[in-house]
Amino acid sequence: MSNKKSGLSKSTLIRSIQCSKSLYLYKNFYSLRDKPSTVQQQKFDRGHRVGKLAHLLFPDGKDCSPPNPFSYDESIAATKLLVHQQFPAIYEAAFKYNGILAALDILTFENGKWYAYEIKSSLRISATYLLDAAIQYHIITRSGLPLEDFFIVTINNEYAFDGTLDVQSYFKKTSVLAEIKERLPFVEQAIDNAIVTLQQTTVPDVPIGAHCTKPYPCDFQGYCWANIAKDSIWYLPGISMQEKSNFTEMGINTIDQIHERDELNSRQRVIIDSMRNGKPHIIQDKLNAFLSEIKYPLYYFDVEAFQPAVPLFVNTKPYERIPFLYSLHYKENAESELQHVSYISPVGADDRINFVKHFLNATEKEGKILVFNTLMEKGVLFRLMNDFPQYKKEILDRINRIIDIEIPFKELYYYHPAQQGSFSLKAIGNALLSRNEFSNSQVKSGEEAMAVYNELFYWTEKKEIEEKLKHLQKYCYTDTYVLYETVDALKKLI
């Protein structure tokens, strides 16, 4: 099918494959899109930085980036000229075929042949990346440029930073030409389907489903979900989007329509029964046994770490967790005053040794260390123990004193209907305390804290950096304060 005015691109085709309604809304009602979250924006910015860094794989190339995202004609013309000149390396090479646009990160001319490189700020190649590459290959080759090979360039997770970034070792090139060719018939069909979608005069009637979040979170969820009834199966907590899709296929559209308990596992039954009767689910003997181990003095601990795609510190690897902030509440006994201490690393040089020393000093008194979900805290401490073996004994002591407060919630010794199927500390705290302590915090989640701190390494305004560091400390303080209040509320249930 041909349509010179389709106005499609690689990214809109990927959108169309995920959901035709999303494509139609994007092209006709762009203003209805959800605003990118802090985390999503950080991922965009990170991808852009890694893409620029990859230019060093083929230095001295010509950049064909457009003056703005809506003016690709200049890029296409510049690319055509450079291809005609057989220029050795072209960045952001732009092509159009049948009205469909594709921009390639790097195009090279070597030994009389053309090679394509698409850069991903990821450690592995996903199925979506392969589809992405197949679309580019289709457009580039159909527009008249034969490609000898096509590479997806990812980040090498084994690369250890020694103080000077070795770009050749940091990146990993993988030929995906065979996988691309397998997908070309699918790409051609996807193009036809997308053109049909854009020729429609009304918004496609696509029900919500698992495609709203995979492979990417759709940025029209705010629009599509606005009028979904609150008793809809789509708001059923504790099960995956795919399981919800399965329910709708069986004709079950509201939570009240679930009559057959065999349709649910034991966890889902607890959540739904609690939702229906409006009462907490409690296994008293197991909750009592767990809480009996929690005796004063007590520390309430939370750590935040970030994962830079490009290593910043010597002996670290891409996406390695680097701790930068911790909060610690301490209570010596039931009557004593709640104390607090925290530490945040300044933005710049490697501060991990100071982080370790500060934490060890703050926890030198005896007492169990309470944490909500120990995966992050233990992972960070084990890594610090490996990086700073001189503190191995002290760090191991702290690890051995950790108790995971997530256990009674994860194991359903206690579940409150106000959790709405969420087992995050925030949801549990809100339910148990009947208030949202996080409402006064500008940073709302650990993922957001990680994204915010990561971006500070690329900021230059000192005043703004200091302000963001204070917001991060406030968030982490709230985390350990809510942990303290949550444990206290559980104790009152005994």
**DSSP per-residue string spanning 41-72:** HHHHHHHHHHHHHGGGGS-SPEE---SSTT--
Which CATH number belongs to the domain containing residue 295 in this structure? 3.30.420.10
> What 8-state DSSP symbol labels residue 337?
P
User: Residue 33 — pLDDT band, cuts 50, 70, 90?
Assistant: very high
Say whether pLDDT at 51 is over 80. yes
Task: Give pLDDT tens digits for 17-29.
Answer: 999 999 999 999 9
- Mean pLDDT is highest, among 6-10, 149-153, 209-213, 422-426, for 149-153
Q: Is residue 425 part of a domain?
A: yes
- C-beta separation of 108 from 89 below 8 A: yes
Shared domain check, 480 and 366 = yes
Say whether pLDDT at 2 is over 60. no
Q: Is residue 436 part of a domain?
A: yes
Q: Is residue 204 part of a domain?
A: no
| Paired tokens of 79 | 């690319």
Q: What is the mean pLDDT of residues 396-425?
A: 94
Shared domain check, 435 and 333 = yes
Alpha helix positions (H), 310-445? 352-362, 374-387, 392-400, 407-410, 425-433
Q: Is residue 387 part of a domain?
A: yes
Shared domain check, 310 and 191 = no
Name the domain boundary from 176, 199, 222: 199
Q: Is residue 227 part of a domain?
A: no
What are the strands, taking DSSP E only, across 197-345?
A: 281-282, 298-306, 322-331, 339-344
List, in order, residues 6 or more apart from 7 with CB less than 8 Å away. 27, 99, 198
Shared domain check, 192 and 297 = no
Say whether pLDDT at 5 is over 70. no
Percent of the chain with pLDDT over 70: 97
Q: What is the mean pLDDT of residues 446-451?
A: 95
User: How many distinct structural domains can be found in the chain?
Assistant: 2
Q: What is the pLDDT of residue 254?
A: 81
| Paired tokens of 108 | 């090279």
Say whether pLDDT at 127 is over 60. yes
Query: What's the whole-number average pLDDT of the chain?
Result: 93
Name the domain boundary from 199, 232, 254: 199
Say whether pLDDT at 203 is over 80. yes
Q: Is residue 442 part of a domain?
A: yes
Q: What is the mean pLDDT of residues 204-208?
A: 91
Shared domain check, 175 and 52 = yes
In angstroms, the CA 134 to CA 140 distance is 10
Q: What is the mean pLDDT of residues 337-357?
A: 97
Q: What is the mean pLDDT of residues 323-331?
A: 98
Closest CA to 132 of 119, 149, 148, 113: 119
Q: What is the mean pLDDT of residues 449-468?
A: 95
| Paired tokens of 448 | 């957001």
Kindly state the helix (H) or strand (E) to which residue 10 belongs, with its residue range. Answer: helix 10-18
R_g of the chain, CA atoms, integer Å: 27
In angstroms, the CA 410 to CA 426 distance is 14
Shared domain check, 179 and 299 = no
pTM: 0.90
User: Residue 440 — pLDDT band, cuts 50, 70, 90?
Assistant: confident
- C-beta separation of 264 from 409 below 8 A: no
Say whether pLDDT at 186 is over 60. yes
Shared domain check, 427 and 290 = yes
Q: What is the mean pLDDT of residues 119-138?
A: 97
Closest CA to 130 of 108, 103, 114, 151: 151
Say whether pLDDT at 262 is over 70. no
Which residue range forms the structural domain that includes residue 330?
286-491
List, in order, residues 6 or more apart from 281 with CB less than 8 Å away. 270, 273, 274, 412, 414, 415
Q: What is the pLDDT of residue 3?
A: 39
In angstroms, the CA 492 to CA 482 distance is 15
Which CATH number belongs to the domain containing residue 58 in this structure? 3.90.320
Shared domain check, 296 and 195 = no
Say whether pLDDT at 235 is over 80. no
Percent of the chain with pLDDT over 90: 81
Q: Is residue 266 part of a domain?
A: no
Q: Is residue 220 part of a domain?
A: no
Name the domain boundary from 139, 170, 199: 199
